Amino acid sequence: MEEASYNGKRKIELRRLGSYLKYAGRAVFFFGIWDAIKTVITMFLNPIVLGIQQKSDMNAEEQLTQVLSFAVLGIVLWINILIRFYIGRWAIKEGNGERKGLFPLLVTCVYLVIVMVSFVGVLKGFLETANMESFLISFIIELTSALALIIIVVCSWRVRYLEHKVYTH
């Protein structure tokens, strides 16, 4: 096996994209775990949740509404985490050369759009409160999350394009 057969321009590019996919996939996966930890800290250990039975000024209906809203929020957050795990795992497999069709890529694209929309929420919050510190922190955190997803989407499309070119030429 000669070096020349390994190092065609397209093969090098595919290897580069595969590497980016693997690492970006791992990043999304670990961000998912990190999100899970943050969710546990901010959501399930909220004193209001734990102390809800002690609140005497709320009637049963209000308490139920509160519990239900927390439950829905919790479910949404956990779905978010599961989607990240799914995307992360898929991207790692894509990076290793396994092709699983277009569905995971479409899920990633849709999720990326949702993350970009959340940027708008962060910006809106800043405009309302003018809290630079909070804005910066949230912005950077959202940005890191989005960066890995952008890399996955771009690299995955490019890999498919290059492989299509290989097969059709």
Partner 1 sequence: MQEDFHYYATYCAAWLAGYEVSDCSRIAYAAQLVDLCSKTFINRFHGPRAATTTQLKTELADAPTDITGIQDITRVWASFHFLPGNLYAHLPKRNRYYMNRYRLICDVNGTLLADTVNLARKGGVEACGIAMHILADTWAHRYFAGTPSFVINDAGGFYELRETENGVERIKVNFNHNPITADNIEKCSFTNCLKQDSETSVMNLGHGRAGSLPDYSFFKYEFQPAWGDYRILVKDNPSDYYRAFCQMVYAMKCLRSGEQEFETDTYDEETVSPYREEIMAILKKRQLIANEDWKALGEKLTGTALEDFDLLKYGDEYMEAEKGHKEKTFLGRFFVAALAQKSMVTNKIFRSGNLIAGFSIDYGTNGFRGIEDFRMLLEEMKKGAMDDQS
Partner 2 sequence: MTRARRIYYFISGVILLPLCVLVVIDPKLGYQYALLFLELALIFHGLKHLVYFFALARYKTGGVEVLFKGLLILDAGLFAFDLHDVPRWYGMIFLIGAMLVSGAIDIMQGAQAMKMQSGHWKSQLAYGVGKAGFGLVGFFFLNSMRLLTVLFALGLLNMAVSHIIIAFKKTDIVYIQ
- Position 68, amino acid: L
The CA-based angle 106-22-9, given to 5 degrees, is 95
Contact stretch for partner 1 (CB under 8 A) within 14-22, 46-54, 108-116, 137-145: 14-22
Q: Please report how close the Cβ of residue 96 comes to partner 2 at its closest, in angstroms.
A: 13
Sign of CA dihedral 121, 143, 26, 153: positive
Q: Which residue type is seen at 94? A: E
Q: In the chain, what are the helix, strand and coil shares in percent, each to the nearest 5?
A: 85, 0, 15
Q: Of 96-155, which residues contact partner 2 (CB under 8 A)?
A: 133-134, 137, 140-141, 144, 147-148, 151
1: contact with partner 1 by CB under 8 A: yes
Stretch that binds partner 2, among 24-32, 58-66, 68-76, 102-110 (CB under 8 A): 24-32
Side chain identity, residue 112: L
Closest approach of partner 1 to the CB of residue 96, in Å: 12
Residues that bind partner 1 (CB under 8 A): 1-3, 6-7, 12-13, 15-16, 19
